[in-house]
Structure 1
Amino acid sequence: MAMMDISTEGEHIVHPIDSRYKVEEMNRIWEEENQLQKMLDVEAALSLAISEMKPELVSPDDARVIKENATITKVKLSRTKQIESEIHHDVMAVVKALAEQSGEAGGKIHLGATSADITETAKAMLVNESIDLILEDSKKLLEALVKRTEETKDWVCIDRTHGQHAVPTTYGFKIAGYLDQVGVIIERLEGDKKYAVGKIAGAVGTANSYTELGLDAIVLEREVLKSLGVQANAHSRQLPPRDNFLFIMSDLTIYANILDKIAGDLWNLCRTEIGEVTEATSSKQVGSSTMPHKKNPFRLERVMGMSAILRGDLVTEFELNFSHARDLKQSAPYRYRYPEFFITLDYMIRMMTNLITFMKIDKQKAYDNVFFTKGSVMAERVMTELAESGMDRQAAHERVKQLAWKAMSENKMLVDFLLNDAEIAKYLSEDKLRELMNPETYLGIASLKTQMIIDKYKR
C-alpha cells in the first residue's frame, strides 16, 4: 500500500473533494450520473411492480421497455439538465427524458408517484452504497491497527494524563484502544443501513394516488423497495423523518471524531521533544519553504482538520426539520452535505490507514521517555507498596509526592531520595525500592487487555 497522493486530474475544480481529497470510488457514487441512474432505477422498479400487481395499468411490455431505457446510456444527464432549465423541476426533467426514450410506454412512467418517492428512495440507495464502501475501507484500517497492536504489544512506554507523564503502559495497549474504538463504530455503521429508508407512499405518505389506482399501497411500497435493497420507514409523510439520516450522520461524525482523537494523540507524540512517532516521509517531501530541516506531520493535521468539517456539517443537519409533510429547506443542504460527509470521511479513513501502516514508532525513544521525570512515574507504585507495608496511605502519598517533586526539580533520580529517607526505610528495604523502580514490571493488565482486543478483531 503506497502513501496517498493528491489527485491532479480535472480542470476548473472548485471543491477540494473533487481533487485534493478525492476518493475515486466514493466520488463515483455521488457523481451526478450515478444519482441520475438511481432515480431511473426507482422509476423502472415502480413501473415493474405496478405491472406485476395490475398489468392493465402498466403492461409487462411497457415495464420492460421502461427498464431497458432507464439507464444513463439512454437518458443523458445533459438532456435532463436541459429540460430542467426549462421547467425548473429536477424529477419531472428525469421523467420527461425517460419518456422520450420509451415511446408509448413513456406515458406509464411515474404513475401514482410523487417526486419524493423517487428522490428519497434514490438517496437511500446512494447512502447504502456509501456505507458499504466505508465499511470495506474500515476493515483495512482495522487490519492495520491489529498489526501495529501486535507489533508493539510489549513495548514499554509512558502514558499521559493532562499532558503530563502518568504511569508506564505499552504502545500495544494504547493502540488497542484505538483499535477497539474503530471496531465499535464499524459495528454501529453495519446496523445503520436500516436507517437509510426510502418510501413509495405518494404526496403526503397516505398513498392516495396509488390506492385510487386500485393498488395495494403497502404491498407496492414493500415490493419496490425490496427490489432496490432499501427499507421502508414505518411512517413517512412526503418525506421520511429526518431522524433516520441524523442517526447515520451522527455515527459518521463520531467516526470522524475517533480519527481526530487518534490523529491528535499521534501528532503530539511526533513533537520534537517527545519524538516517539514519525510520519512516513519520502525523500522528495518538503516540510517548509524556508526551513529545510522540517518534517511536519501534515497528514495527521489533515485528518484533524477534516474532522472539524464533519462536526460542522452535522450541526447543519440538525437545523433541517421540514414543516408539515415537507418543504425544500433540506434540499440544498442535502446536495452539499451528503457527498461531503461520505467523501471526506472515506478520505480520512484511507489516510489514517496509511498513517498507521507506515508511521515509525521509536521503541527505544519511547522507553527512554519513561525516565524523563527521573523515575517519578513510579511514585504511585512506591506509595501503594508503603501503604501495603503498614504506612498510613495519606502520609505515604504526601511523603512520596514531596520526594518526587524534589527529584524532578533537582534533576536527580527519585530512587536516590527514597533510599535516603529515614521514614520510608522503616517500611521498605533498599532491594525492594530498587525493584519497585522497574517500569517493565509495573504494567498491570496491559498485556492481557491488549491480547483480548487483538483476539476480538483479528481475522
Structure 2
Amino acid sequence: MSDYDKYTTPLSARYASKEMSHIFSTRNRFSTWRKLWLNLAIAERELGLDVVTEEAIKEMGAHLTITDDEIAAASAQEAIVRHDVMAHVHTFGETCPSAAGIIHLGATSCFVTDNADLIFLRDAYDLVIPKLVNVIDRLSKFALQYKDLPVLGWTHFQPAQLTTLGKRTTLWIQELLWDLRNFVRARNDIGLRGVKGTTGTQASFLALFHGDHDKVEALDKRVTELLGFDTVYPVTGQTYSRKIDIDVLAPLSSFAASAHKMATDIRLLANLKEVEEPFEKSQIGSSAMAYKRNPMRCERVCSLARHLGSLFSDAVQTASVQWFERTLDDSAIRRISLPSAFLTTDILLTTLLNISSGLVVYPKVIERRIKGELPFMATENIIMAMVEKNASRQDVHEQIRVLSHQAAAVVKEEGGDNDLIERIKKDDFFKPIWNELDELLDPSTFVGRAPQQTEKFVNNDVKQALEPHKQYINDEKVQLNV
C-alpha cells in the first residue's frame, strides 16, 4: 500500500516544521524510551544495584537511537503481546543482550510513556518560545516604523477617532507578550514524573533496595537530574496528573485567540486596501479571478487557531475523568491532542513570522479614507475655533449640523466624497477661521499620544520582556512551503 493511499495529517505532512514534527515522531518517542531506561539503569547502579552491570549500561548507551528494523520488530512483537512498552523492552533486549534482564527494572509502563511525554512537552515549548519572541520583535520594529502614521480607528467596525498604525500594532504585541509570559511559565513548571512505580507508591523500588527509603528517594532525584529536569512531581498515581496537560495547553489555547485576532484585523485591513500580508510575485489569488490578492496566510492562521483553541477542552475533560490512580481512556486522546497542539502552534508562529516580516502598507489609501471621515471628526475643533472668534457655540453647532447632514447625504445617497470642508469654505459664517482649516484638519493632531505610547511601549515594556530571550532574535527570512 503506497503512502499516497493513506491519510496523513496536514499538520506534519503540509505545514509544521521538521523540528517540531521530529519531537513527536515515532523514532524520537521510542528512542526517548531507551534514554529513560538507560538513565534508570545508571541511577540504579550508582545506588548499589550490582545486577545492573557496566557492560549493560555501555551497550544500552550505544543503541539509543532506534532503527527502522527495530521499529518494525517492535511493531510485530506488539501485535503478539498487545502491549507497546513490553514489545519495545523485548526489542531493546534483543539489541542489547547483556542488558536484557535489567531493562525496565522496577518500572511501570508510565515510567517511559509519561516521562517521555513530559520531555516532549518541554522540548516543544523550547521550539515555540523563540519563534514567538521573533514575531514580537518583528512586529515591534513595524510598530516603531509606523508609530506616527495616522489611520482611521474603528469601534464596532464603524469609523472612530484616529489612531496610528504603530499604536494599533502594539495592541497585537501586548497580547503576544502575555502569551510569551504564559509560555515561559508553563515550560518552567513542567516537572518529571520520575520513578514512582505502578500506583505511585514506589513499592517495587523499595523492594529492590530492601526497604531503604532514602535510596528510593535518591533514585527519583538522580533520574530527574540525569534527564535534565529541575523538579520531579512529589506524588503521582500511575500517571502524572492529567491536570498538568491543562496547564500546558492553556497558554497555547490563549495564544490561538491572539493569533486569530491579529490575523482577522489584517484580513479586514486587506479588504480596506490599507495593509496587506506579503504576496509573492508568482502567487495566484484565485483560479478564476486573476486580479485577486486573497489574504491566504491570515486565513490559514484563523483556521488553525480555531483548531488550537478547541484542543484545550480535550485536556480539561480528560483530567476530570481520571479514576483514582489512573484509567486508560486518556491514552488515545492524548496521542492526538498533545502533538496537535504543538504542531499547530508551531505552524501559526511560522506563518505569523512570515506575515510580520513582510506587511505591506498603503499610505495613500489610508490618507484618502481619513480625508473621507476627518471632516466630521473635526467639527468639535471647528466649533471651538469659532467660539474663540466670539461666535455663539449654539449658533455654530446649528450651522455645522446643517452642513454635516448635507455632506452626509452626498456620501450616502449620491456616492460622492465628503465635501463638508468645501461647504464650510463657501459659507461666510465660517470666514473667521477659513485660514485655520488646514491646521484644524491635520490628522496628526487627532491621534493623541499614540506615537508616544507606541515608542514608550516598545522601548520599555517590549524590550524588558524580550531581554531574557535576546539570544533567539534574528533576521532570518521565513519562507512558507505552501
TM-score, length-scaled by structure 2: 0.83
**Is 1:439 matched up with 2:422?**
no
Residue 382 of structure 1: how far off its partner (Å): 6.0
Determine helix, strand or coil for the equivalent of 1:158: strand
- Tell me if structure 1 keeps the 8 A contact 2:374–2:441: no
Determine helix, strand or coil for the equivalent of 1:281: coil
**Is 1:453 matched up with 2:457?**
yes
1:168-192 CA distance string (max 9 Å, x none): 1111111122222222211221221
Q: 1:398 to 1:79 in 2, by over 3 A?
A: farther
The answer for the alignment partner of 1:229 in structure 2 is 228
Residue 66 of structure 1: how far off its partner (Å): 2.8
Cα distance between partner residues in 2 of 1:397 and 1:452: 38
Cα distance between partner residues in 1 of 2:384 and 2:42: 74
The answer for the alignment partner of 1:201 in structure 2 is 196
Determine helix, strand or coil for the equivalent of 2:130: helix
Cα distance between partner residues in 2 of 1:392 and 1:64: 95
1:358-397 equivalence runs, <5 A: 358-373=358-373, 375-379=375-379
Residue 385 of structure 1: how far off its partner (Å): 8.3
Cα distance between partner residues in 2 of 1:41 and 1:400: 78
Cα distance between partner residues in 2 of 1:435 and 1:98: 80
Q: 1:294 to 1:197 in 2, by over 3 A?
A: same
- Tell me if structure 1 keeps the 8 A contact 2:383–2:397: yes
Residue 276 of structure 1: how far off its partner (Å): 0.5
- Tell me if structure 2 keeps the 8 A contact 1:47–1:63: yes
The answer for the alignment partner of 1:339 in structure 2 is 339
Cα distance between partner residues in 1 of 2:280 and 2:18: 23
Aligned residue identity for 1:208? A
Deviates more, 1:281-290 or 1:205-214: 281-290
Please point out which of 205, 213, 228 is paired with 1:210: 205
Aligned residue identity for 1:109? I
Q: 1:61 to 1:441 in 2, by over 3 A?
A: same
Determine helix, strand or coil for the equivalent of 2:40: helix
Q: 1:235 to 1:436 in 2, by over 3 A?
A: farther
Please point out which of 136, 139, 149 is paired with 2:143: 149
Residue 357 of structure 1: how far off its partner (Å): 1.1
Gaps of 5+ in 2: 412-417, 464-469, 471-482
The answer for the alignment partner of 1:355 in structure 2 is 355
- Tell me if structure 2 keeps the 8 A contact 1:238–1:326: yes
Gaps of 5+ in 1: 1-8
Q: 1:284 to 1:328 in 2, by over 3 A?
A: same
The answer for the alignment partner of 1:240 in structure 2 is 240
Please point out which of 294, 302, 310 is paired with 1:296: 294
Cα distance between partner residues in 2 of 1:318 and 1:402: 59
Cα distance between partner residues in 1 of 2:391 and 2:208: 87
Cα distance between partner residues in 2 of 1:63 and 1:316: 39
Q: 1:154 to 1:58 in 2, by over 3 A?
A: same
Q: 1:100 to 1:228 in 2, by over 3 A?
A: same
Cα distance between partner residues in 1 of 2:43 and 2:372: 72
Aligned residue identity for 2:203? N
Residue 416 of structure 1: how far off its partner (Å): 6.0
The answer for the alignment partner of 2:270 in structure 1 is 270
The answer for the alignment partner of 1:178 in structure 2 is 172
- Tell me if structure 1 keeps the 8 A contact 2:304–2:348: yes
- Tell me if structure 1 keeps the 8 A contact 2:60–2:96: yes
**Is 1:280 matched up with 2:275?**
no
Cα distance between partner residues in 2 of 1:177 and 1:265: 11
**Is 1:22 matched up with 2:20?**
no
Q: 1:113 to 1:366 in 2, by over 3 A?
A: same
Residue 451 of structure 1: how far off its partner (Å): 0.9
Q: 1:57 to 1:395 in 2, by over 3 A?
A: farther
Q: 1:27 to 1:392 in 2, by over 3 A?
A: farther
1:314-364 CA distance string (max 9 Å, x none): 122221121111111111111111221111111111111111212211122
The answer for the alignment partner of 2:103 in structure 1 is 109
Q: Equivalent pairs: percent with the same residue?
A: 24
- Tell me if structure 2 keeps the 8 A contact 1:167–1:378: no
The answer for the alignment partner of 2:36 in structure 1 is 42
Deviates more, 1:297-306 or 1:63-72: 63-72
Residue 142 of structure 1: how far off its partner (Å): 2.2
1:94-136 CA distance string (max 9 Å, x none): 2111111222321111111111121111011111111111012
Residue 387 of structure 1: how far off its partner (Å): 11
Cα distance between partner residues in 1 of 2:262 and 2:408: 30
Q: 1:395 to 1:76 in 2, by over 3 A?
A: farther
Q: 1:368 to 1:110 in 2, by over 3 A?
A: same
Aligned residue identity for 1:323? W
Aligned residue identity for 2:451? S
TM-score, length-scaled by structure 1: 0.87
1:351-404 CA distance string (max 9 Å, x none): 111112122111221122112225223356668889999999999999978865
The answer for the alignment partner of 1:84 in structure 2 is 78
The answer for the alignment partner of 1:5 in structure 2 is none
Determine helix, strand or coil for the equivalent of 2:154: strand
Cα distance between partner residues in 2 of 1:203 and 1:221: 14
Q: 1:75 to 1:109 in 2, by over 3 A?
A: farther
Determine helix, strand or coil for the equivalent of 2:367: helix
The answer for the alignment partner of 1:6 in structure 2 is none
Residue 268 of structure 1: how far off its partner (Å): 0.3
- Tell me if structure 1 keeps the 8 A contact 2:243–2:315: no
Determine helix, strand or coil for the equivalent of 2:378: helix
- Tell me if structure 2 keeps the 8 A contact 1:239–1:325: yes
Please point out which of 302, 312, 318 is paired with 2:316: 318
Residue 419 of structure 1: how far off its partner (Å): 7.9
Aligned residue identity for 2:205? Y
Cα distance between partner residues in 1 of 2:132 and 2:359: 18
Cα distance between partner residues in 2 of 1:406 and 1:438: 23
